[in-house]
Amino acid sequence: MDVRAESGRSGRQQPPEPEINVTPLVDVVLVLLIIFMVIAPQMEHGERVELPAVFQPDPKSKSKLDPIYVTITGAGTVFLEKEAVADLGALGERLRAIRAAEPERRVVIKGDSSVRYGRVREAFALCQEVGFAGISLQVSQRGGGASAAPEEG
């Protein structure tokens, strides 16, 4: 019997193909997942409290936490809440009426990043002239997205 005929044509045995065993990798990932699920809630700042809920809020009341939004688009269009306003003069009249009815409310100005700074500054000065106590500029985090937090001005 010929040994070369049994082991293949060339007489050499083919090396075994390596197999990747993913079981240890899955075990490590699951352990890390469990650790982060247990530790993450404890990393919250301060003491954990259960906040009270309002069961029957008055839909007509506006609190000082409910701001008035003034939006300036890239095209220069000015919006008060979701309604377009002809110009800054008309915006001033509408803001004066709101201020007379609800003096404790605040104003948040959202200006598109492509709008001239002067245009946003004019709207800010108008809100100051009307007499609102708090005026904020809403910005997004650098490289961020839609989530934005008001910055006090």
Query: What is the predicted pLDDT for the residue at 144?
Result: 46
What single DSSP character describes residue 49?
A: -
Question: Is residue 74 situated within a structural domain?
Answer: yes
pLDDT at 120: 85
The CATH number of the domain where 72 resides is what?
A: 3.30.420.270
Give me the mean pLDDT over the 42-52 stretch: 62
In a domain, 81, yes or no: yes
The pLDDT tens digits for 9-36 are: 566 888 888 888 899 999 999 999 999 8
CA distance 51 to 101: 30
Helices 88-101 and 117-130: angle between axes, nearest 10 degrees? 30
Q: What is the mean pLDDT of residues 124-149?
A: 72
Does the pLDDT of residue 91 top 80, yes or no? yes
- pLDDT recorded at residue 9: 58
Domain presence at residue 129: yes
Per-residue pLDDT band for 142 (boundaries 50, 70, 90) equals: low
Q: What is the pLDDT of residue 30?
A: 96
Residue 86 resides in a domain: yes
Give domain status of residue 118, yes or no. yes
Q: Is residue 12 part of a domain?
A: no
pLDDT value at residue 46: 55
Q: Give the structural domain span for 90.
A: 68-141
- Look at residue 148 in the predicted model and tell me its pLDDT: 47
Confidence of residue 145 (pLDDT cuts 50, 70, 90): very low
Number of domains in the chain: 1
- SS3 (DSSP) at 114: coil
Whether residue 123 lies inside any domain: the answer is yes
* pLDDT value for 26: 95
Give domain status of residue 137, yes or no. Answer: yes
| Whole-angstrom distance, CA of residue 122 vs CA of residue 128 | 10
Chain centroid to CA 23: how far? 38
Q: How much is the mean pLDDT over the chain?
A: 77
